[in-house]
């Protein structure tokens, strides 16, 4: 007889089916909430969308007014026995319904830019991805080796880490104006902001990961005749690779969080340009679509990297997910 | 109760004493001279080891045993060159030891196989460090893997092996370097009893077949007697040599000898040295609490 796994047992693993159910629910619940608020009129819908302005001169079809204002106008019209304005309850413009965002998701890719100088959405996205890529790559090219050296040699750590500890508290966006002054208004300063936001954390995190390598492995290597650089290249680096890879995945996520600020610096560009532009036109469904797109790119990248990690490091024991 | 009369542990059969005579004529591989080690701790200067002296002859198997805190692990780490002594010196083939090196192979208590290398590459590691070509290292490694009986697992990663198998690989890895001496720091301490006795038999078999001198740390009396030619007994606070015992149990050893008179006599002596009865009472500063039938009082005996 198979005993079903209880749903709530302290730190006990759930069955595969339960995990799948919960994973789906974690996305389904917020969408359900959003749908309820969007489609069930009496739940919220604080506005009235005008269908027929009636005798009220300043109302126009499609206009959104407060419910209180609308009922006042209806009362006035009734008193004066003129044509009543008609309307339906609606949500504010900044909360589009799920289906509107879903349509926007599709149409955002198929809508031609309004001006020839502007970019298609996929071009904007690609531009953002390139900014992230260069910012993160430059940071890693410096940050990973420095982190490993700091974690391996105390002298390096003492020389670098106090300053880095100080610098990491300085908010990267604060360097925006400086970055523009030095690097111009195009991609240079944006890449610099992502670099600044990632690099200092990266050195400290990777130094820490390096320090967590079991000393016994280094001692074993010493008794086997390994010397200086052999110790670094044959033990330290391969020993920390799986953890290093995990760190890089987390850091890449952080790099994304700096993207929006970075892209606002100088001439606004990429997905941020798209978002601000659409918000200006009050096309909020497009704004949501773009934000969700960033989320999807982030999650998909992370899942792909996790899969890659499993393939690259077959000796890593399965991490127990609590 | 009848007390079985045991012979003295100092009594040796002719064969055994002849064996020791021969052994002592062999060249000295390892010599420890007036070795001392002091640590700075919060309680001030702590003496971990004090004036340790002993010699190990070629192909000898020496076990080091002692109560916890007697500094046996410190001793073997100094022999390996992983720590430096405060005084005295360690000579390997009459040359002082300053740092770790491939001439002293080491097997640790914890599992120290490189998790990113499979069994074969773990065993090849030391050979590659010494500049052997990949091909030479590989064929050498495969020989050693066969010797410890793991040829079928040459391509397995450490996390796929049992504890006993991991330690066999660790032994092969240390021996592949052709060290002058093999240092073993409670290598079977983490294994279950059955695996442990298998590993002991295995180790003896390997040792009989190759030219290797072994210094083996343990806290298990049976293990020490079963494996050793001589047992270096340390006492704690400070760690000093209590006695160097010549094990009178004849070779080849079998597990059945564990109840032979020589074995028991040696064990009795080790018990006396390591757990002296007079100090038992407050050995760990434990208070004995005894119920007394005087009303409801509980008397605490100091």
Chain A neighbors of B182, CB-CB under 8 A: none
- The B-side interface with A (CB below 8 A) comprises 80-82, 99-102, 104-106, 108, 110, 112, 114-117, 125-126, 128-130, 157-159, 170, 173-174, 177, 183
At A176, the pLDDT band (50, 70, 90 cuts) reads confident
Separation between Cα atoms, residue B188 and residue B176, nearest integer Å = 20
Closest chain A residue to B182 measured between Cα atoms? A223
pLDDT for A319:
44
Query: Which chain A residues are within 8 Å of B126, Cβ to Cβ?
Result: 224-225
Asked if A143 contacts A206 with a C-beta cutoff of 8 angstroms, the reply is yes
- Which residues from chain B sit within 8 angstroms of residue A316, using beta carbons? 115
A312 in B contact zone (CB under 8 Å): no
Which of the residues B98, B107, B112, B121 would you substitute to probe the A interface, choosing the one with the greatest number of A C-beta atoms within 10 Å?
Answer: B112
Q: pTM for this one?
A: 0.83
Looking at the complex, does the CB of residue A309 fall below 8 Å from at least one CB of chain B? no
The two tokens of residue B288 are 């004995």
Taking contacts as CB-CB distances below 8 angstroms, the residues of chain B near A219 are 80, 82, 100, 106, 108, 112
Summarised one tens digit per residue, pLDDT across range A47-97 is 888 888 888 888 888 888 888 888 888 888 888 888 888 888 888 888 888
Rounded to an integer, what distance in angstroms lies between the CA atom of residue A271 and that of residue A126?
8
B104 vs A contacts (CB less than 8 Å): 223
* pLDDT greater than 80 at residue A253: yes
| pLDDT tens digit sequence for A178-205 | 998 899 888 899 999 999 999 999 999 9
Q: 3-state DSSP call for residue A243? A: helix
Distance from CA of B270 to the nearest CA of A (A): 31
Minimal CA separation from A309 to chain B, in Å: 13
- Check: CB of residue B70 under 8 Å from CB of residue B235: yes
Among the partner residues B105, B114, B126, nearest to A217 by beta-carbon distance? B114
Q: pLDDT for A96-143, tens place per residue?
A: 889 998 998 888 788 777 777 777 888 888 999 999 999 999 999 999
Residues of chain A contacting residue B105, judged by C-beta atoms under 8 Å apart:
223-224
Q: How far is CA B228 from CA A123, B5, B63, B232, B250, in A?
A: 75, 24, 5, 10, 11
Q: How many CB atoms lie within 10 A of CB A301?
A: 16
Nearest CA-CA distance, residue A241 and chain B, Å: 9
Mean pLDDT, 10 residues at a time, chain B of 302 residues: 76 89 94 93 88 95 90 94 94 94 94 95 96 94 94 94 94 95 94 93 93 95 95 90 92 88 92 74 51 53 50
Sheet containing B230-235: order of strands: B104-107, B181-185, B213-218, B61-65, B230-235, B240-246
**Residue B34 φ/ψ, nearest 5 degrees:** 45, 45
């Amino acid at each position: 007889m198979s005993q079903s796994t209880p749903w709530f047992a302290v730190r006990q693993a759930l069955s595969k089916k339960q995990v799948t159910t919960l994973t789906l629910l974690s996305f389904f619940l917020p969408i359900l909430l959003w749908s309820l608020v969007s489609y069930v009129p009496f739940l919220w819908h604080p506005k009235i969308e005008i269908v027929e302005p009636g005798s009220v001169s300043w109302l126009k079809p499609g206009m959104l007014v407060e419910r209180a204002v609308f009922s006042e106008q209806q009362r006035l019209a009734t008193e004066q026995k003129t044509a009543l304005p008609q309307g339906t309850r609606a949500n504010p413009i900044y909360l589009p319904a799920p289906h509107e965002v879903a349509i926007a998701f599709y149409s955002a890719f198929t809508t031609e830019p309004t001006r020839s100088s502007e970019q298609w959405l996929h071009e904007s996205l690609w531009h953002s991805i390139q900014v992230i890529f260069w910012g993160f790559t430059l940071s890693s090219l410096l940050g990973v080796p420095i982190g490993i050296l700091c974690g391996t040699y105390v002298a390096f750590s003492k020389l670098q880490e106090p300053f880095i500890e100080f610098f990491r508290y300085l908010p990267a966006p604060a360097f925006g104006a400086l970055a523009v002054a030095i690097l111009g208004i195009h991609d240079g300063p944006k890449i610099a902001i992502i670099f600044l936001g990632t690099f200092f954390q990266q050195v400290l995190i990777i130094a820490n990961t390096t320090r967590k390598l079991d000393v016994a492995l280094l001692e074993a290597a010493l008794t086997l005749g390994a010397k200086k650089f052999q110790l670094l290249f044959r033990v330290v680096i391969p020993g920390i690779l799986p953890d290093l890879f995990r760190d890089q995945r987390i850091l890449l996520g952080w790099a994304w969080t700096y993207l929006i600020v970075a892209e606002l610096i100088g001439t606004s560009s990429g997905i941020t340009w798209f978002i601000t532009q659409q918000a200006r036109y009050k096309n909020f469904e497009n704004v949501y679509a773009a934000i969700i797109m960033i989320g999807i790119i982030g999650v998909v990248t992370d899942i792909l990297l996790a899969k890659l990690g499993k393939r690259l490091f077959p000796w890593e024991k399965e991490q127990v997910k609590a | 109760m009848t007390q079985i009369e045991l012979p003295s542990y100092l009594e040796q059969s002719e064969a055994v004493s002849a064996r020791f005579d021969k052994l002592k004529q062999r060249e000295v591989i390892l010599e420890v001279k007036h070795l001392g080690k002091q640590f700075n701790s919060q309680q001030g200067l702590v003496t971990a080891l004090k004036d340790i002296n002993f010699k190990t002859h070629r192909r000898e198997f020496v076990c080091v045993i002692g109560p916890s805190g007697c500094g046996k692990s410190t001793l073997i780490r100094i022999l390996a060159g992983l720590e430096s002594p405060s005084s005295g010196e360690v000579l390997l083939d009459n040359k002082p030891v300053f740092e770790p090196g491939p001439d002293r192979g080491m097997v640790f208590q914890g599992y120290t196989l490189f998790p990113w290398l499979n069994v074969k590459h773990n065993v090849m590691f030391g050979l590659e460090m010494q500049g052997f070509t990949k091909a030479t290292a590989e064929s050498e490694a495969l020989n050693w893997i066969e010797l410890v009986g793991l040829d079928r697992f040459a391509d397995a990663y450490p996390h796929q092996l049992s504890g006993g198998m991991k330690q066999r690989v660790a032994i092969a890895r240390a021996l592949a370097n052709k060290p002058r001496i093999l240092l073993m720091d409670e290598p079977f301490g983490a294994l279950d009893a059955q695996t442990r006795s298998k590993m002991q038999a295995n180790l003896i078999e390997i040792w009989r077949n190759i030219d290797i001198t072994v210094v083996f740390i343990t806290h298990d009396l049976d293990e020490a007697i079963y494996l050793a030619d001589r047992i270096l007994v340390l006492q704690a606070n400070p760690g000093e040599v209590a006695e160097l015992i010549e094990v009178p149990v004849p070779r080849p050893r079998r597990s059945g000898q564990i109840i032979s008179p020589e074995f028991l006599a040696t064990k009795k002596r080790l018990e006396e040295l390591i757990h002296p009865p007079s100090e038992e009472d407050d050995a760990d500063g434990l208070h004995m609490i005894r119920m007394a039938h005087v009303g409801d009082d509980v008397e605490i005996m100091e």
